[in-house]
């Protein structure tokens, strides 16, 4: 099943469209293998690389991927459990400014993301069809569980493309 228009803010169509097929769990599992290979192939000394002044470092991009996955997985969990509390947004740039990425190794940041993805996969496996169809509000916008999971998968693909195309990795 794929999310339908109205299940999410149109801004997220960019991410959702990157995910092929109707089985988001299979996409997450497949992405995991590809992402693991790619991220582990990045040399440690590239961790602080920025392709331009004012842009995030490689480590910050990966940390952003982790933070976003945590936020969207929490949103999916909350809505799947029928909690109707409106969920807040977050300021990705503020969070990035406060990563202290320079104090971490690239390999540690990569391992954190990969561990988190495994946790997300287990969470998604726990959802049944009724849970996937549930809708709530996140960042003042509609959000279905299935849309949130597709956004997680597509957000990863988007940032992997950024790392390849803009960072030359």
Which letter, b or e, does each residue of 125-138 get, where b requires 16 or more Cβ atoms within 10 Å of its Cβ? eebeeebbebebeb
pTM for the model: 0.96
Q: Is residue 64 part of a domain?
A: yes
Domain carrying residue 71: 10-165
Q: Is residue 4 part of a domain?
A: no
Q: Give me Rg for the CA atoms of the chain.
A: 16
The total of structural domains in the chain comes to: 1
Q: Which CATH number belongs to the domain containing residue 67 in this structure?
A: 1.20.120.450
From first to last of the 169 residues of the chain, give the pLDDT tens digit: 999 989 999 999 999 999 999 999 999 999 999 999 999 999 999 999 999 999 999 999 999 999 999 999 999 999 999 999 999 999 999 999 999 999 999 999 999 999 999 999 999 999 999 999 999 999 999 999 999 999 999 999 999 999 999 999 9
């Amino acid at each position: 099943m794929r999310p339908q228009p109205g299940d999410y803010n149109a801004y997220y169509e960019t991410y959702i469209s990157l995910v092929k097929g109707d089985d988001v769990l299979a996409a997450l599992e497949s992405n995991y293998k590809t992402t693991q290979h790619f991220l582990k192939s990045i040399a440690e000394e590239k961790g602080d690389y920025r392709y331009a002044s004012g842009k995030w470092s490689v480590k910050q991009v990966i940390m952003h991927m982790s933070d976003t996955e945590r936020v969207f997985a929490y949103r999916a969990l909350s809505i799947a459990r029928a909690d109707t509390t409106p969920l807040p947004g977050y300021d990705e740039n503020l969070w990035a400014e406060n990563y202290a990425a320079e104090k971490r190794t690239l390999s540690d940041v990569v391992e954190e993301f990969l561990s988190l993805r495994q946790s997300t996969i287990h969470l998604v496996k726990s959802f049944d069809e009724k849970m996937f169809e549930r809708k709530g509000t996140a960042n003042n916008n509609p959000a279905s569980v299935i849309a949130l999971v597709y956004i997680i998968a597509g957000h990863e693909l988007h940032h992997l493309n950024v790392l390849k195309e803009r960072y030359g990795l």
